[in-house]
Amino acid sequence: MKRIIRIICLLSIVFLLSGCWDVRELNETGFVTAIGIDSGQSKKLNVSVQVINPSGGSSMLSGGSSNAMSTLSYSAEGDNVFEATRKISKSISRQLHYGHTVLLAISEELARTEGIVHILDGIERDNELRSSASIILTKGLTAEQFLHTGALLDRIGAMKVKRLLNNTEEILGENSDGRLYQVIRTLTSPGREAWINGFKIQDDRGAKYTIADGIGVFRHGTLIGWIDNETSRGVLWTLGKVKSTLISLDYGGEKKNIGIETYRTQAKMKAVSKNGKPVIHIVVKAQANIGEVDADVDLLDPMVIMELEKQANAAIKEEIESSIKKLQEMKSDIYGFGNVIHQGQPKLWKKVAADWTDRTFPTLETVVTVDLHIHRLGLRTNPLIRSMEEQE
């Protein structure tokens, strides 16, 4: 009897087991690595996808031609992203899978004329697309052209863009890898505007390559302008997103002859009330190394190190204050100062929220404090030029 009961239980479990109702065979799936969105000709949007080319990858593995492309681009138009992506199925025999998408590219022209809010709504609703995908703006060309050209320049163009963002974030500090979920969170937060990295295809005497080029500044979800170089780095200093960078200092009457390499940067913002008006206090802390020296200077002298730290602090502070002034002129609070006030001084925020963008932010008072310390001199203590002069 017990044996019969066990058999009945096992049969019951078998009937309750669900099958793989949504299974996809690899040879029937097209893995999307990047999505590009432009203005359409006959419809509102033109959506492009960069898909892994299985024949290109297999030729490399089997010792075939290395000229075979590892990605292919397809595009279609629609009144929304949802419609356009499904129309792409007319031109590809595989079912598209967006779980491996690492890049979302939006053309500068579309971001400036139509904005990005209506685009991101449809993209966020797709449960396949990863919210950690990087988002960029294409400058000087459409997103479709960018994806196609990127595929020609690199085996998987989307991965190259990701690597470029990581490299410039780790080394230069003028760009930071902006993710899709971060931009969406910014757009839905009070007192904060969005910013997105710009990319373009550089043509140097016939040699083309992908390059990061500035940061796009938004107001109410629409692109209004660009910042780059020290201005963009000033923004990232304030946001605490500069992981490492090089600051050139003047010494002994010579220009830019000492390089300071920063690391372990931290930034904090705090809102206070002064005479009924908001004031933002910004504190940036960083540690630094001596990167390069082209001057006759005694680095073992503590007074010299203190002087270099003073110069570096002043240089960083100037970059931050200049970037704030620039963004105040553009009337775009990409720092999130308004959000800091909203969280730290909620009653004060209620008073200034209505005219924050047009009146309060452009005249907002900020207090910047920079605390940088030099901890290492590198493998060499005194400069090479000083050691040579001592021998003479």
pLDDT in tens, 261-295: 998 899 999 999 999 999 999 999 999 998 888 87
**In whole angstroms, what separates CA 192 from the centre of its chain?**
16
pLDDT range class, residue 14, cuts 50, 70, 90: low
Please tell me the least confidently modeled range out of 31-35, 64-68, 218-222, 277-281: 64-68
Contact 137, 196 (CB under 8 A): yes
And the tokens for 318? 């100037």
Mean pLDDT of 213-229: 94
pLDDT in tens, 100-113: 888 999 999 999 99
Is residue 303 over pLDDT 70?
yes
Tell me which range, 3-17, 82-96, 373-387, is most confidently predicted by mean pLDDT: 82-96
Q: What residues does 223 pair with on adjacent strands? A: 218
Mean pLDDT of 169-182: 80
Is residue 217 over pLDDT 80?
yes
pTM above 0.75, yes or no: yes
And the tokens for 387? 């050691």
Question: What percentage of the chain carries pLDDT values higher than 90?
Answer: 46
Find, among 392, 391, 376, 387, the residue nearest to 297 by Cα.
Answer: 387
Contact 266, 240 (CB under 8 A): yes
pLDDT the model gives residue 5: 72
pLDDT the model gives residue 262: 92
pLDDT range class, residue 47, cuts 50, 70, 90: very high
And the tokens for 315? 């240089």
pLDDT the model gives residue 69: 54
pLDDT the model gives residue 115: 94
**Cβ neighbours for 126, distance < 8 A, ≥ 6 positions apart:** 82, 98
pLDDT the model gives residue 213: 87
From CA 143, how far away is CA 284, in angstroms rounded?
36
Please tell me the least confidently modeled range out of 30-44, 69-83, 365-379: 69-83
* Residue 385 or residue 268, greater confidence: 268
Contact 116, 108 (CB under 8 A): no
pLDDT range class, residue 63, cuts 50, 70, 90: very low
* Residue 21 or residue 278, greater confidence: 278
Is residue 96 over pLDDT 90?
no
